[in-house]
Amino acid sequence: MEIVCLQEIPVHRFILGSASLAAVTVVAVVLGVLLGAVKCIIPLNWCAHYSGKRNYILLGWERSNLFSSKVRRFCSRLNRVLLSVRGKMKPSTWFGKLVIAVTFVVGAALMCRGVKYFYGGNDAEEAYPLNGHYSQFTLLTMTYDARLWNLKMYVKHYSRCSSVKEIIVVWNKGRPPRSSDLDSAVPVWIRVEDQNSLNNRFKKDPMLKTRAILELDDDIMMRCDDIERGFNVWRQHPDRIVGFYPRLISGSPLKYRAEKYARRHKGYNMILTGAAFMDHTVAFERYWSNEAKAGRELVDRYFNCEDVLLNYLYANASSSQTVEYVRPAWVIDTSKFSGVAISRNTNVHYKIRSSCLLRFSEIYGSIADRKWEFDGRKDGWGL
């Protein structure tokens, strides 16, 4: 029999979570009123008002009761306001749609906040120890001048995660910012590259002081708690690529597909390195080996597939499991707001990656015969 110990929710988190969910209720009612789904009309006979046959005694008491009069006036005004608001905020108008959209976004944000307070694990401020010991990793991202807005938000957020020792920014194109331009709680190093190449992501770097690195694209936003969970899993399996974006490579001919394909077939055999932990002493050595030269040339030709190549190199080097999945609570792709995503055209992007799969399988051998289930660990973080 397995006994699961539920973590006690601290009082301050319970209060904040309850307040957030109460606010969500208010927002939901407001949204319902705007859409006409909720009839929030308060009958006047609910107020302190006597609607039966009056006599002089009751009338005199009612006139002398100032509070009752104020309540009646409030109810009457509220009825008029609600009717007026519903009349003006018609969902068919652009203004009505804007108000409804803003209300919905506010409600969703409050809901996420409330759920985080209740079920946020050990929160962003705490790391997960392994055998009573803590460790740190280096956060590494690759970007260029058009994505500076993403980078500033990225550094400000992730530099506050407990296990981040420092951040290395691989600057591929344009004028780099100064480290002082970034709001960071840890040291930030900017490495300027001469050539705009995706191969720079895995370039050996003497600035790396930790064995573990987290390769994380600058347009991906996740909770620090999810990052800490991923790091904890990697510390248990340092010989693997541990990340948050699973893929299943299978079929004939091989075809690159989204995560839902892996979910539907209940397994995966690849982890995208846009959000993945790895041992850089192993990963970078394999990536820059003579064996990987043909693969690197293909990456430069397509300006794509560097993550696919690393997965093939790992699989080619071992017959055991080489990738590990950790499911994040939520992920936001900020490039959707800034319009600078590298892979904006999904169809073209997938077609190129399918070509890479075929070519890499010819060079390094297929990985289609490998498959690992999502619930392969006992921690429940891979479901």
Q: How far apart are the first and last CA of the chain?
A: 21
Q: Are 304 and 328 in contact (CB under 8 A)?
A: no
CA gap 312, 318 in Å, rounded: 10
**Element housing 286 (H / E):** helix 280-287
CA gap 188, 327 in Å, rounded: 27
Q: Are 172 and 196 in contact (CB under 8 A)?
A: yes
**Element housing 298 (H / E):** helix 293-302
- The region that residue 276 occupies, defined by phi over 0 for left and psi between -120 and 50 for alpha, beta otherwise, is beta
Q: Are 307 and 240 in contact (CB under 8 A)?
A: no
The three-state secondary structure class of 335 is helix
Distances (CA, A) of 374 to 181, 269, 322: 41, 10, 14
Residue 369: active-site member: no
For residue 221, the cross-strand partners are 332
| Long-range residue pairs from 90-99, CB within 8 A, at least 24 positions apart, any chain | 91/34, 91/35, 96/34, 99/34
Q: Are strands 220-222 and 331-333 parallel, antiparallel or unpaired?
A: antiparallel
How far does CA 279 lie from the centroid of its chain? Answer: 23
Backbone dihedral angles phi then psi of residue 352, each to the nearest 5 degrees: -65, -45
CA gap 201, 273 in Å, rounded: 10
Catalytically annotated residue among 218, 225, 226, 307: 307
Cα dihedral angle (260, 266, 268, 272), rounded to 10 degrees? Answer: 30
Residue 368: name the closest of 241, 254, 244, 246 by CA: 254
Give me the active site residues, please. Answer: 307
